[in-house]
Amino acid sequence: MMQTIQIQPLTPDAFKPFGDVLDIAGEPTVIINQGLCQRFSDLATLDCVGDDAKTGISLFNSDKRTLPYQLDMMERHPLGSQAFLPMTENAFLVIVAPDDGGKPSIPQAFLTQPGQGVNYHRNIWHGVLTPLSEPGLFAVIDRIGPGNNLEEFWFDMPYLIGPSRVTAIPL
Amino acid sequence: MMQTIQIQPLTPDAFKPFGDVLDIAGEPTVIINQGLCQRFSDLATLDCVGDDAKTGISLFNSDKRTLPYQLDMMERHPLGSQAFLPMTENAFLVIVAPDDGGKPSIPQAFLTQPGQGVNYHRNIWHGVLTPLSEPGLFAVIDRIGPGNNLEEFWFDMPYLIGPSRVTAIPL
């Protein structure tokens, strides 16, 4: 029997152990462009290990997922942070977990608001990119460089994320 | 009499002297997430001058503009590149100019396709952020650090960008 994880709204406080929420809540850092543009500066803690590595901009184009979502695997990046910024106004699903001796503990699931991105801190367990709409187009700011920057953990028993599966009552 | 600059479609070739087009045209670098996600890696030449500076993620929230757009000023950043990735599926206006002895030469104007961002290379003259729809929400990847990283040039005679203004014929 799979355990169901309820989806929470994404807030900076709830997400703090895992990374940064990237949005325009709060006061702008500065107003620019003759008063016509708000700038919210330096929202993410970027982390990139290794003299031969750099931070780069990539684009991800992902198939959408549906709820309830079966979480079979989580991953983490030991050498760098990874930020996801949606290039649409659609919400997406964010799944993270505390570490428990080298494997993910019970996952936590968040639903973004339109206009929110996230930055996973280095070595934080997270699910793969899970848009809930198409196109699943994201700008990704992460480490570009050599070395093994991917660790995966497959669950013996997957989790179910989101609304419980409705069980049809046999007639 | 203001000179009108016609808007061109944004293509990597046309934009090459000024920066990078950030989109998912072409072949993905790698397929990830069990076949469900295309990754297009390291699309931008990021440039960040100074040991006390770093590349960061910011968000810009800009008022929209309308066409024809009056271009009074261009700016450039001598210490770093600046990438703009729309967090909507709306096209936006991109204005750049070659340098001519320390001031912008004749501007060129481009309209993005939905799903396209741009990265202005360091010290390239460009217009301020000009979305044509609301919300004018963008992720911006640029230099965070001390020093004067902004140079502005105000035109004696502004340019008009886009469709020519229709002149009403007096009755």
Per CATH, the number for B4-168 is 2.60.120.480
pLDDT band at B163 (very low <50, low <70, confident <90, very high): confident
pLDDT at A105: 98
Calculate mean pLDDT across residues A81-107.
98
- Please report which confidence band the pLDDT of residue B51 belongs to, taking 50, 70 and 90 as the band edges: very high
Chain B positions touching A28 (Cβ under 8 A) are 61
CB within 8 Å: A42 and B58: yes
**What gap in Å lies between CA B43 and CA B34, rounded to an integer?**
23
How would residue B10 be classed by pLDDT, with cut points 50, 70 and 90?
A: very high
Cβ of residue B154 closer than 8 Å to a chain A Cβ: no
The interface predicted TM-score of the complex, written ipTM, equals: 0.94
CB of B134 within 8 Å of a chain A CB? The answer is no
SS3 call for A14:
helix
Cβ within 8 Å, pair B41-A61: no
3-state SS track over B100-152: CCCCECCCEEEECCCCCEEEECCCCEECCCEECCCCEEEEEEEEECCCCCCEE
**Cα(A161)–Cα(A111) distance, integer angstroms:** 11
* Whole-structure pTM value: 0.95
Whether the per-residue pLDDT at B166 is higher than 90: the answer is no
Which of A85, A90, A116, A142 to substitute to test the interface with B, most B CBs within 10 Å? A85
pLDDT band at B1 (very low <50, low <70, confident <90, very high): confident
Give chain A's mean pLDDT: 95
Q: Does A133 touch chain B (CB under 8 A)?
A: no
Question: Residue A169: pLDDT above 80?
Answer: no
Report cis status (omega within 30 of 0) of the bond before A107.
Answer: no
Map out the domains of chain A as residue ranges.
4-168
Q: CA-to-CA distance for A33 and B127, rounded, in angstroms?
A: 10
Q: How far is B171 from chain A (nearest CA, A)?
A: 37
Does the pLDDT value for residue B171 go beyond 80? Answer: no
The secondary structure of chain B in percent helix, strand, coil, rounded to multiples of 5, reads 0, 45, 50
Q: Report residue A164's pLDDT band, with 50, 70 and 90 as the boundaries.
A: low
The structure tokens listed for B61 are 């929230």
Q: Which residue of chain B has the CA closest to A136?
A: B37
In A77-163, which ranges are E strands?
A: 82-86, 92-97, 108-111, 117-120, 125-126, 130-131, 136-144, 151-161
Beta-carbon pairs below 8 A across chains A and B: 145
> Using one digit for the tens of pLDDT, what is the confidence trace for A112-159?
999 999 999 999 999 999 999 999 999 999 999 999 999 999 999 999
How far is the C-alpha of A116 from the C-alpha of B81, rounded, in Å? 24
Above pLDDT 90, what percent of chain B?
Answer: 93
Mean pLDDT, rounded, for B58-86: 98
Cα dihedral: B137, B140, B144, B149 (round 10): -90
Q: Decide if pLDDT at A41 tops 60.
A: yes
